[in-house]
Amino acid sequence: MIVKANLQKLSSVLWQIPKSFRSDMNVDAKIFASEEMLDEILNDQSLEQIVNVATLPGIIGSAYAMPDIHEGYGFPIGGVAATKFPDGVISPGGIGYDINCGVRLLKSNVDINSIKSYLESLAREIYKRVPSGVGRGSEFVLTVTELDQVLKYGVEWALNKNFATQHDIQNIESGGRLENANPNLVSDQAKKRGLDQLGTLGAGNHFLEIGFVEQIYDKEIANQFGLFENQVTILIHTGSRGLGHQVATDYIKIMMQKMSDYGIQVPDRELVCAPFNCPEGENYFAAMAASANFAWTNRQMITYAVRQGWKKELGLLGGELELLYDVAHNIAKIETHEFDGKSKKVILHRKGATRAFPPNHPDLPPQYQKTGQPVLIPGSMGTASYVLAGTQAGMTASLGSTCHGAGRKMSRHAAKKEIHGKALKAELEQKGIIIRAGSIPGLSEEAPAAYKDVDEVVQVVHEAGIAKKIARLRPCVVIKG
Q: Which residues are catalytic?
A: 404
| Beta strands in 217-351, from DSSP E residues, in sequence order | 231-238, 274-275, 322-328, 330-339, 342-351
**Is 423 inside a domain boundary?**
no
SS3 for 325?
A: strand
Q: How far apart are CA 222 and CA 165, in angstroms?
A: 23
Q: How many domains does the chain have?
A: 1
User: Distance between CA 305 and CA 107 in Å, rounded?
Assistant: 15
Asked which of 20-24, 76-80, 101-105, 380-384 is least confident by mean pLDDT, the reply is: 380-384
Share of the chain above pLDDT 90, in %: 86
Chain mean pLDDT for the chain: 95
pLDDT of the residue at 430: 83
* Mean pLDDT within 298-310: 98
Write out pLDDT tens, residues 107-145.
999 999 999 999 999 999 999 999 887 766 677 899 999
pLDDT at 70: 95
> pLDDT value at position 135?
64
In sequence order, what are the beta bridge partners of 9? 15
pTM (predicted TM-score): 0.96
Which residues face 79 on adjacent strands? Answer: 65, 351
- Name residue 231's amino acid: Q
CA dihedral 131, 133, 135, 138 (to 10 degrees): 0
Residues 218-251 pLDDT 10s: 999 999 999 999 999 999 999 999 999 999 999 9
Beta-bridge partner residues of 111: 231
Residue 166: inside a domain: yes
Omega before 366 cis (within 30°)?
no
Helix (H, G, I), strand (E, B) or coil at 319: coil
* Secondary structure of residue 322 in the 3-state scheme: strand
Distance CA(156)–CA(166), nearest Å, equals 9
Helix, strand or coil, per DSSP, at residue 43: coil
- Amino acid found at 32: F
Residue 67, pLDDT > 70, answer: yes
Which has the minimum average pLDDT: 95-104, 127-136, 201-210, 291-300?
A: 127-136
* In-domain check, residue 425: no
Beta-bridge mates of residue 205: none
187 in any annotated domain: yes
Q: What is the pLDDT of residues 411-447, one digit of tens each?
A: 777 777 777 778 788 888 888 899 988 777 677 777 7
More confident residue, 421 or 213: 213
Look up residue 477 and give its DSSP letter: E
Check residue 480 and give its pLDDT: 87
Tell me the C-alpha distance between 297 and 151, whole Å. 9
CATH number for the domain harbouring residue 101: 3.90.1860.10
| Alpha-carbon span 55 to 24, nearest angstrom | 6
Do the domain assignments include residue 431?
no
- The DSSP call for residue 133 is S
Assigned domain for 220 exists: yes
pLDDT higher at 143 or 449: 143
Q: Look at residues 96, 195, 187 and name the one whose alpha carbon lies nearest to residue 149.
A: 195
Answer whether 202's CB lies under 8 Å from 133's CB: yes
Q: Is residue 430 part of a domain?
A: no
pLDDT number for residue 137? 67
Alpha-carbon distances of 274 from 101, 127, 251, 330, rounded to whole Å: 23, 42, 10, 18
Percentage of the residues of the chain whose pLDDT score is greater than 70: 99
Identify the domain containing residue 278 by its residue range. Answer: 4-409+451-480
The answer to whether position 264 is within a domain reads yes
Contacts of 465 (CB under 8 A, 6+ apart): 391, 393, 394, 397
